[in-house]
Structure 1
Amino acid sequence: MKKLLVFLSIFVTVLALAAFDPTTYVEATIGEADTLDPHLAYDTASGEVLYNVYDNLIGYKGSSVSEFVPKLSTQVPTVQNGLVRDGGKTYVFPIRKNVKFHNGNPLTPEDVEYSFERGLLYDPAGGPMWMLFYALFGVHSLDELIEDYVKAPVDQIFDKNGEPKAEYKQKLVDFYKNVIDPVVQVQGDNVVIKLVRPYGPFMNIIAHSGHWAAILDKETSIKLGLWDGKADTWWKYRDLQKEKSPYYAYAMGTGPYKFVEWDRKQQKVTLAANDDYWAGAPKIKKVIIWGIDEWSTRRVMLERGDADSIAVTLEYLDQVRGNKDITIIENIPQLSTTVLAFGWSISPTSKYIGSGKLDGNGIPPDFFSDVYARKAVAAAINYDALIRDVLKGFGKRVPTVLPEGLLGFDPTLPLYKFNIKTVQDNLKLAWNGQAWAKGFKFSVAFNQGNVARQRVAEMVKMYLEMAAPGKAKIDVQPLQWPTFLDATNRGELPIFILGWLADFPDPDNFIFTYYHSKGDYSSRQGANFKKFVSTPRKELGNKSLDELIEQAAAETDPAVRGKLYIQIQKFAIDNCISVPVYQPVGVRVQRSWVKGWYPNPMRPGMDFYSVYKQQ
Structure 2
Amino acid sequence: MKGLKVLSLFLFTSAALAATPRDTLVIQRGLDVPTLDPSMAYDGASIELTDQMYETLYTYKGTSIKETEPLLATKYTISNGNKTYTFDLRKNVKFHSGAPFTCADAEYSMRRVIVTNTGDSGSFILAESLLGTQDNANDDKSVTWAKIENSVKCNAQGQLVFNLPKVDPAFIAKIAFSGNAIVEKAYSAKIGEWDGTEKTWKEWVNKLTPGSNLSKAPNGTGPYRLVRQDANTYMFTAFDGYWGQKPAIKNVIRQKVPELAARQQALLKGDTDFADGGGRNVDEAQIKGKPGIAWLDNLPNVGSYGINMNQNIKNPAIYGSGKLDGKGVPANFFSDVNVRRAFSYAFNYDQFARDVFKGKAVRRTMFLPDTFLGYDPKLPVYPYDPKKAEDAFKRAWGGQVWKNGFTINASFRASNPIQQTMFEILKKNIEALNPKFRINLVAKEWSQLLADSRAGKEGLTMSTWGPDFADPDNFLYTFFHSEGYIAPRLNWKDPTTDRLLVQARSTVNVAERTRLYSQIGRRLYDQAVFVILPMPVEYVAYRDNIQGYYYNPMASSVPWKVLSKK
TM-score range, shorter chain: 0.7 to 0.9
C-alpha displacement at 1:98, in angstroms? 3.8
| 1:227/1:572 CA distance change after superposition, 3 Å | same
| Alignment partner, residue 141 of structure 1 | 134
- Report the 3-state secondary structure (helix = DSSP H, G, I; strand = E; otherwise coil) of the residue aligned with 1:131: helix
| 1:250/1:579 CA distance change after superposition, 3 Å | farther
C-alpha displacement at 1:433, in angstroms? 4.9
| 1:15/1:292 CA distance change after superposition, 3 Å | closer
Distance in 2 separating the partners of 1:245 and 1:565: 39
| 1:411/1:92 CA distance change after superposition, 3 Å | closer
C-alpha displacement at 1:421, in angstroms? 3.8
From 145, 153, 157, the counterpart of 1:176: 145
- Indicate if the aligned counterparts of 2:117 and 2:127 stay in contact, CA closer than 8 A: no
From 572, 577, 598, the counterpart of 2:524: 572
Distance in 1 separating the partners of 2:434 and 2:235: 49
- Indicate if the aligned counterparts of 1:379 and 1:422 stay in contact, CA closer than 8 A: yes
| 1:598 and 2:550 matched | yes
Per mean C-alpha deviation after superposition, the further-off stretch among 387-396 and 560-569 is: 387-396
C-alpha displacement at 1:596, in angstroms? 1.0
| Alignment partner, residue 6 of structure 1 | none
Per mean C-alpha deviation after superposition, the further-off stretch among 572-581 and 335-344 is: 335-344
- Indicate if the aligned counterparts of 1:256 and 1:274 stay in contact, CA closer than 8 A: yes
From 118, 141, 156, the counterpart of 1:124: 118
C-alpha displacement at 1:592, in angstroms? 0.6
- Report the 3-state secondary structure (helix = DSSP H, G, I; strand = E; otherwise coil) of the residue aligned with 1:330: strand
From 336, 354, 357, the counterpart of 1:391: 357
| 1:327 and 2:327 matched | no
Distance in 2 separating the partners of 1:390 and 1:213: 35
Q: What TM-score, normalized by structure 1, do the two folds share?
A: 0.80
From 327, 340, 343, the counterpart of 1:374: 340
C-alpha displacement at 1:193, in angstroms? 2.5
C-alpha displacement at 1:428, in angstroms? 4.6
After superposition, what is the alpha-carbon deviation per residue over 1:421-480, rounded to whole angstroms, capped at 9, x for unaligned? 44444445545555552531313213644x433321332233233334464132142534
Distance in 2 separating the partners of 1:369 and 1:269: 47
| 1:23/1:227 CA distance change after superposition, 3 Å | same
Cα RMSD after superposing both structures: 3.2
| Alignment partner, residue 76 of structure 1 | 75
Distance in 1 separating the partners of 2:215 and 2:184: 16
- Indicate if the aligned counterparts of 2:348 and 2:426 stay in contact, CA closer than 8 A: no
- Indicate if the aligned counterparts of 2:29 and 2:275 stay in contact, CA closer than 8 A: yes
Distance in 1 separating the partners of 2:140 and 2:539: 51
After superposition, what is the alpha-carbon deviation per residue over 1:27-57, rounded to whole angstroms, capped at 9, x for unaligned? 3344344444433433333322221121112
- Indicate if the aligned counterparts of 2:108 and 2:185 stay in contact, CA closer than 8 A: yes
| 1:423/1:431 CA distance change after superposition, 3 Å | same
After superposition, what is the alpha-carbon deviation per residue over 1:501-540, rounded to whole angstroms, capped at 9, x for unaligned? 2333322222111111222212333xx33xx23xx3xxxx
C-alpha displacement at 1:326, in angstroms? 0.7
| Alignment partner, residue 489 of structure 1 | 454
| 1:201 and 2:195 matched | no
C-alpha displacement at 1:338, in angstroms? 1.8
| 1:403 and 2:369 matched | yes
Identity of aligned residues (%): 33
| Alignment partner, residue 185 of structure 2 | 218
- 2:294 alignment partner AA: T
- Indicate if the aligned counterparts of 2:352 and 2:425 stay in contact, CA closer than 8 A: no
- Indicate if the aligned counterparts of 1:131 and 1:140 stay in contact, CA closer than 8 A: no
Q: What TM-score, normalized by structure 2, do the two folds share?
A: 0.86
| Alignment partner, residue 298 of structure 1 | 263
- Report the 3-state secondary structure (helix = DSSP H, G, I; strand = E; otherwise coil) of the residue aligned with 2:420: helix
| 1:465/1:242 CA distance change after superposition, 3 Å | farther
Per mean C-alpha deviation after superposition, the further-off stretch among 600-609 and 220-229 is: 220-229
Distance in 2 separating the partners of 1:307 and 1:358: 55
| 1:21 and 2:21 matched | yes
- Indicate if the aligned counterparts of 1:23 and 1:283 stay in contact, CA closer than 8 A: yes
| 1:120/1:468 CA distance change after superposition, 3 Å | same
| Alignment partner, residue 475 of structure 1 | 441
**Alignment coverage as a number of residue pairs:** 551
| 1:553 and 2:546 matched | no
C-alpha displacement at 1:206, in angstroms? 1.0
Distance in 1 separating the partners of 2:531 and 2:371: 19
| Alignment partner, residue 87 of structure 2 | 93
Per mean C-alpha deviation after superposition, the further-off stretch among 497-506 and 106-115 is: 497-506
C-alpha displacement at 1:231, in angstroms? 1.7
| 1:294/1:374 CA distance change after superposition, 3 Å | farther
- Report the 3-state secondary structure (helix = DSSP H, G, I; strand = E; otherwise coil) of the residue aligned with 1:498: strand
- Report the 3-state secondary structure (helix = DSSP H, G, I; strand = E; otherwise coil) of the residue aligned with 2:207: coil
- Report the 3-state secondary structure (helix = DSSP H, G, I; strand = E; otherwise coil) of the residue aligned with 1:496: strand
- Indicate if the aligned counterparts of 1:123 and 1:239 stay in contact, CA closer than 8 A: yes
Distance in 1 separating the partners of 2:147 and 2:407: 54
After superposition, what is the alpha-carbon deviation per residue over 1:97-125, rounded to whole angstroms, capped at 9, x for unaligned? 44332333332221110110111122222
- 1:595 alignment partner AA: Q
| 1:385/1:262 CA distance change after superposition, 3 Å | farther
Distance in 2 separating the partners of 1:277 and 1:352: 53
- 1:17 alignment partner AA: L
| 1:300/1:15 CA distance change after superposition, 3 Å | same
Per mean C-alpha deviation after superposition, the further-off stretch among 599-608 and 219-228 is: 219-228
Distance in 2 separating the partners of 1:468 and 1:306: 53
- Indicate if the aligned counterparts of 2:353 and 2:360 stay in contact, CA closer than 8 A: yes
Q: Superposed, which structure 2 residues align to 1:193-592 within 5 Å?
A: 193-197=162-166, 199-207=168-176, 210-240=177-207, 242=209, 245-247=212-214, 251-259=218-226, 266=232, 269-290=234-255, 292=257, 294-312=259-277, 313-319=279-285, 320-348=287-315, 363=329, 365-436=331-402, 437-446=404-413, 448-449=415-416, 451-469=417-435, 471-477=437-443, 479-480=445-446, 482-525=447-490, 528-529=491-492, 532-533=493-494, 536=495, 544-592=496-544
Distance in 2 separating the partners of 1:156 and 1:613: 51
Distance in 2 separating the partners of 1:156 and 1:327: 51
- Report the 3-state secondary structure (helix = DSSP H, G, I; strand = E; otherwise coil) of the residue aligned with 2:464: strand
User: Unaligned stretches of 5+ in structure 2?
Assistant: 1-12
After superposition, what is the alpha-carbon deviation per residue over 1:543-568, rounded to whole angstroms, capped at 9, x for unaligned? x3111111122234433332221211
Q: Superposed, which structure 2 residues align to 1:24-43 within 5 Å?
A: 24-43=24-43
User: Unaligned stretches of 5+ in structure 1?
Assistant: 1-12, 78-82, 147-153, 158-170, 537-543
| 1:340/1:263 CA distance change after superposition, 3 Å | farther
| 1:55 and 2:49 matched | no
Distance in 1 separating the partners of 2:333 and 2:465: 25
| 1:115/1:241 CA distance change after superposition, 3 Å | closer
C-alpha displacement at 1:262, in angstroms? 6.2
- 1:452 alignment partner AA: I
After superposition, what is the alpha-carbon deviation per residue over 1:381-427, rounded to whole angstroms, capped at 9, x for unaligned? 32112223422343210022022122332222111222334444444
| 1:275/1:470 CA distance change after superposition, 3 Å | farther
C-alpha displacement at 1:483, in angstroms? 4.8
Distance in 2 separating the partners of 1:376 and 1:249: 50
Distance in 2 separating the partners of 1:562 and 1:59: 24
- Report the 3-state secondary structure (helix = DSSP H, G, I; strand = E; otherwise coil) of the residue aligned with 2:50: helix
Distance in 2 separating the partners of 1:282 and 1:345: 52
Per mean C-alpha deviation after superposition, the further-off stretch among 213-222 and 452-461 is: 452-461
- Indicate if the aligned counterparts of 1:360 and 1:441 stay in contact, CA closer than 8 A: no
- 1:57 alignment partner AA: L
- Indicate if the aligned counterparts of 1:338 and 1:584 stay in contact, CA closer than 8 A: no
| 1:324/1:124 CA distance change after superposition, 3 Å | same
- Indicate if the aligned counterparts of 2:500 and 2:520 stay in contact, CA closer than 8 A: yes
